[in-house]
Amino acid sequence: VTVHLVGAGPGDPGLLTVRALELLRSCDAVVADTLVCPDVLREVPDDALVVSRAGMSQEQVNELLVRLGRRGLDVVRLKGGDPFVFGRGGEEALALAAAGIPFTVVPGVSALAAVPAAALIPVTHRGVAHTVTLSTGRAENGDEPDYDALVAGGGTIVLFMGLGRLAVIAAGLMQAGLPQSTAAAVVAGGTLPEQEVVVADLAGIAEAAEGLSSPALLVVGDVVRVGVALKQATETAFQHQG
């Protein structure tokens, strides 16, 4: 009996870890985030219990994990991205520890770098950015993020967010001192076949991203230009070959 808090990666099933796949193939039960790719869930044994956490509060998820653990089951709690990066895995771990249920944490590929990488954007690049600040598009109390703090970090900014907040967030970053011309990219459906990428300056990014689907990731900073240069060089090379 162990509950494994497992990162499923950003979406692409190929970005699951070897350990995650092994655990899925031998588990008794899976409690899966709604954003986890259905292909991944086909890996579990036929007689395993598969539960979606859709509609459950975090407290209900914690209780469910404790209950399944108490029944002596091997449980995979499959979480989008990485369980300990905006994944609230710490809360689930504390609930399990308090109940005396053994648990492990199996890190996953976080969207923070994998999604920009899928758009050929490195979040750090020599001479361009050697610091990255990650945050969400809303503070925990529902307030706006601390834009001054995000901008003061001085490096690449990566924000997990709903697209409906993009205009407000871009305005907040500009008010906090980022120039209107700062390069920005929005990646929707990152690493999946339906992935869409738009690039614009911060002043124009909300308009450019209209029509994309949530959830999305916003990348702000000069590394976006490295991604654009890479994409152009790749396309040019491809034309020469063709």
Within residues 75-104, the interface with its own copies by CB under 8 A covers: 82-91, 93-94, 97-103
3-state secondary structure of 106: strand
Residue 64 or 83 with smaller CB distance to its own copies: 83
List residues bridging with 156 in a β-sheet. Answer: 132
Per-residue tokens: 147 = 């834009």
Site for its own copies in 158-187 (CB under 8 A): none
Closer residue to its own copies in complex, CB, 47/143: 143
Minimum gap (Å) between residue 14 Cβ and its own copies: 3
Q: Which is nearer to its own copies, 8 or 198 (CB)?
A: 8
Residue with tokens 């989008």: 80
C-alpha distance from residue 229 to each of 9, 18, 180, 218, 225 (Å): 26, 33, 20, 18, 6
Rounded to the nearest whole angstrom, what is the least distance from the CB of residue 219 to its own copies in the complex? 11
Cβ-based neighbour number of residue 100 at 10 Å: 9
Which one, 49 or 192, has the nearer CB to its own copies? Answer: 192
Rounded Cα distance between 213 and 104, Å, is: 33
Q: How many residues sit in the footprint of its own copies (CB under 8 A)?
A: 80
H/E element, 38? helix 38-41
User: Rounded to the nearest 5°, which phi and psi values hold at 75?
Assistant: -115, 135
Indicate the residue among 214 and 234 with the shorter CB distance to its own copies. 234
Q: Token pair 């339906």 is at which residue?
A: 194
CB of 211 to its own copies, least distance (A): 26
| Contact status, residue 3 vs residue 30, Cβ threshold 8 Å | no
Taking residues 3 to 42 in sequence order and writing x for each that binds its own copies by CB under 8 A, - otherwise, the string is: ----x-xx-xxxxxxxx-xx--------------------
What residues numbered 200-239 form the site for its own copies, per CB under 8 A? Answer: 223, 226, 229-230, 233-234, 237-238
Q: Which stretch binds its own copies (CB under 8 A): 45-53, 110-118, 194-202, 208-216?
A: 110-118
Binding mask 116-145 for its own copies (x = CB under 8 A): xxx-xxxxxxxx--xxxxxxx--xx----x
* Residue entry with tokens 């995000």: 150
